[in-house]
Amino acid sequence: MSSTQRDSGASTNSTEAKKTDPRWNEKKCSWASYMTNSPTMIVMIGLPARGKTYMSKKLTRYLNWIGVPTKVFNLGVYRREAVRAYKSYDFFRHDNEEAMKIRKQCALVALQDVRVYLTEEGGQIAVFDATNTTRERRDLIQAFVKENGFKVFFVESVCDDPDVIAANILEVKVSSPDYPEKHRERVMEDFLKRIECYKVTYQLLDPDDYDKDLSFIKVINVGQRFLVNRVQDYIQSKIVYYLMNIHVHSHSIYLCRHGESNHNVEGRIGGDSELSPRGKQFAHALRDFIDEHKLSDLKVWTSQLRRTIQTAEELGVPYEQWKILNEIDAGVCEEMTYQMIQDSFPEEFALRDQDKYHYRYPGGESYQDLVQRLEPVIMELERQGNVLVICHQAVMRCLLAYFLDKGADDLPYMKCPLHTVLKLTPVAYGCKVEMFYLNVEAVNTHRDRPLGKNPRDSALIHRRNSYTPLSSHDQVKRPRLYSAGNQPWLPLAPTPSALMPERLQSQARTGGSCLSPCAKESTLMAAKKLVAVFASE
């Protein structure tokens, strides 16, 4: 399908442009995408500096990551296209007839682009980011939506805390293209007057009467309170859940892989091997790194594979094990080197290079599967404060892709070297990344994208499960590696501490390995062990 990209009027970010094509192919749909039938328009509502664009971009990033093609249409961008030079807040006065005409025209153009995106370009969700503060404007949008057979969901942000508003203005408006001179006080003054212009005609959503049949969420005071009305379907329920879990408090997320493992050294993928000597060194270096950064209340998460657990053990702080952070399951290729895979399964090897994101190892997983399994991790990371996630290459790529808004094409080739910590700090509308190499040598496990244009093989598109009529042969299913093994004499398998009153130490035990079992069982919990892997507050 074609992906005619519009000029700057349509796209808000440069990355938007290359997203529509790879994200849409109805046979490659993610689960989330399958569950969404008619296209949906999300309409933001609120005075300026209420976080509409922040929520729009974040939501779009999340939806794209879980595989639902989504795009933001920011009316400000259209307006700046139409009116080259912004002079002052006078443009926004509601009695400025000429300006009103231009603004309405921009809205109509934007809506046309929305229509094209949702009906011709394969988009599933369009986020219409504008103030939409009058009933008149919202009625216009509803008529448009009805005419085109879309669903509509409103997101209204209401905030009367002057500190929050001032902070918003400073963080994102001062650097807006509208204010090239960036003189703070003048920007603040003009912008506050701009807000006043809107206040005059602002008609809030009225859940009791006028708007009682609409589907919407009202976000009040940056998530302190929510009013949710008539959620229609799966995707709206996920949007509501997401919006209710994000916050704006500053925090940092640290992502790193386990220390170098024995399999890494041998060039083998997957498996459940232990740290090499250099890997252990890294674990020590990581401990120093954490001490240096003096992170308050840092949560540490690992997978349930030995190599991440061993890394965390060295830190001397409580940590939680998440099974869903385990490395991608390479099925029949587990524990092989790339050379062995090429020798034993040359067709599979080639298929993977053609479409690394969707390719599923026979008896194993694909990156697309990983994203689905990691979604609760992302949701919990959004809820949390400072977190260090010690995980694996493929897993880290998926998490990073969420934070840095990378598409399916780029995700499987992101560079996540061993012994390097990435610090992600949300800032303005995006994420600041700092990379810390902890100075312990390690092998390089990164395999670049192969050169030359690989034709998309149609066989791959139809493969949706480990069983397909097109799979090359009846494979022997190799055992999948999940846990760090069971201690033979203790029937209770290790579980994450999650909601238990006492934070438990590492619980990895293996028969005769070097890991020392040091789990403390709270006797009160013995009766019913907790399963949830979600981190506690």
Partner 1 sequence: MTNCPTLIVTVGLPARGKTYISKKLTRYLNWIGVPTKEFNVGDYRRECLKIYKSFEFFRPDNEEGVKIRRQCAMSALNDVRQYLSVEGGQVAVFDATNTTRDRRGTIMKFAEQNGFKVFFVESVCEDPEVIAQNIVQVKLENPDYMNCSSEEAIEDFMERIKCYETSYQPLDEDLDSDVSYIKIMDVGRRYLVNRVVDHIQSRIVYYLMNIHITPRSIYLCRHGESDLNIKGRIGGDSGLSGRGKEFAKRLRNFLEEQNIKDLKIWTSQMKRTIQTAECLGVPYEQWKSLNEIDAGVCEEMMYEEIQEHFPLEFALRDQDKYRYRYPKGESYEDLVQRLEPVIMELERQENVLVICHQAIMRCLLAYFLDKTSHELPYLKCPLHTVLKLTPVAYGCKVESVYLGVESVNTHRDRPENVNVQRSTEDALQTVPAHL
Q: Which residues are catalytic?
A: 129, 159, 258, 327
Number of residues that bind partner 1 (CB under 8 A): 61
Query: CA dihedral defined by 432, 437, 443, 444, rounded to 10 degrees?
Result: 30
Residue (200 or 532) nearer to partner 1, CB: 532
Our finding on whether 247 is near partner 1 (CB under 8 A) is no
* Contacting residue, 167, 200, 227, 435, with partner 1 by CB under 8 A: 227
Site for partner 1 in 500-519 (CB under 8 A): 500-503
Our finding on whether 527 is near partner 1 (CB under 8 A) is yes
Residue corresponding to tokens 């993610």: 30
Instruction: Give 485-500 as a DSSP string.
Output: ---TT--SPP---TT-
Our finding on whether 444 is near partner 1 (CB under 8 A) is no
Residue (238 or 280) nearer to partner 1, CB: 238
The answer to whether the Cα torsion of 530, 532, 533, 535 is positive or negative is negative
Residue (199 or 477) nearer to partner 1, CB: 477
**Shortest separation between residue 155's beta carbon and partner 1, angstroms:** 14
Site for partner 1 in 2-61 (CB under 8 A): 31, 34-35
| Piece of 120-128, 167-175, 445-453, 487-495 that binds partner 1 (CB under 8 A) | 487-495
Picking from 223, 216, 218, the residue whose alpha carbon sits closest to that of residue 246 is: 223
**Shortest separation between residue 494's beta carbon and partner 1, angstroms:** 9
Using alpha carbons, list the distances in angstroms from residue 93 to 26, 47, 90, 217, 353: 45, 14, 5, 28, 56
Picking from 233, 245, 230, 234, the residue whose alpha carbon sits closest to that of residue 31 is: 234
* Vertex 21: Cα angle to 16 and 23 (nearest 5): 80
* Contacting residue, 480, 513, 519, 521, with partner 1 by CB under 8 A: 480
From the CB of residue 536, how many other CB atoms can be counted at a distance below 10 Å? 14
| Piece of 103-111, 112-120, 187-195, 497-505 that binds partner 1 (CB under 8 A) | 497-505
How long a stretch of residues is the chain?
A: 537
Our finding on whether 427 is near partner 1 (CB under 8 A) is no
| Piece of 112-120, 162-170, 226-234, 280-288 that binds partner 1 (CB under 8 A) | 226-234
Task: Say if residues 129 and 106 touch (Cβ distance below 8 Å).
Answer: no
From the CB of residue 277, how many other CB atoms can be counted at a distance below 10 Å? 12
3-state SS class at 300: strand
Q: Among the residues of 3-154, which ranges form H helices? A: 14-17, 20-23, 31-34, 52-65, 75-82, 97-119, 135-148
* Contacting residue, 108, 428, 433, 499, with partner 1 by CB under 8 A: 499
Q: How far apart are CA 247 and CA 239, in angstroms?
A: 14
**Shortest separation between residue 74's beta carbon and partner 1, angstroms:** 28
Site for partner 1 in 144-173 (CB under 8 A): none
Q: What residues are paired with 435 via a beta bridge?
A: 422
Our finding on whether 369 is near partner 1 (CB under 8 A) is yes
3-state SS class at 138: helix
Please state whether 294 falls in left (phi above 0), alpha (psi between -120 and 50) or beta: left
Site for partner 1 in 189-218 (CB under 8 A): 207
Our finding on whether 483 is near partner 1 (CB under 8 A) is yes
Residue (451 or 531) nearer to partner 1, CB: 531
The answer to whether the Cα torsion of 498, 502, 503, 506 is positive or negative is negative
* Contacting residue, 210, 338, 437, 467, with partner 1 by CB under 8 A: 467
Q: How far apart are CA 361 and CA 328, in angstroms?
A: 9
Q: How far apart are CA 440 and CA 284, in angstroms?
A: 10
Residue (162 or 491) nearer to partner 1, CB: 491
Site string for partner 1, 313-332 (x = CB under 8 A): ----------x---------
**Shortest separation between residue 33's beta carbon and partner 1, angstroms:** 12
* Contacting residue, 231, 317, 414, 443, with partner 1 by CB under 8 A: 231
Site string for partner 1, 380-399 (x = CB under 8 A): x--x----------------
Our finding on whether 491 is near partner 1 (CB under 8 A) is yes
Residues contributing to the site for partner 1 (CB under 8 A):
31, 34-35, 207, 224-231, 234, 237, 240-241, 244-245, 272, 323, 363, 369, 372, 380, 383, 464-467, 477, 479-483, 485-486, 488, 491-493, 495, 499-503, 522, 524-525, 527-537
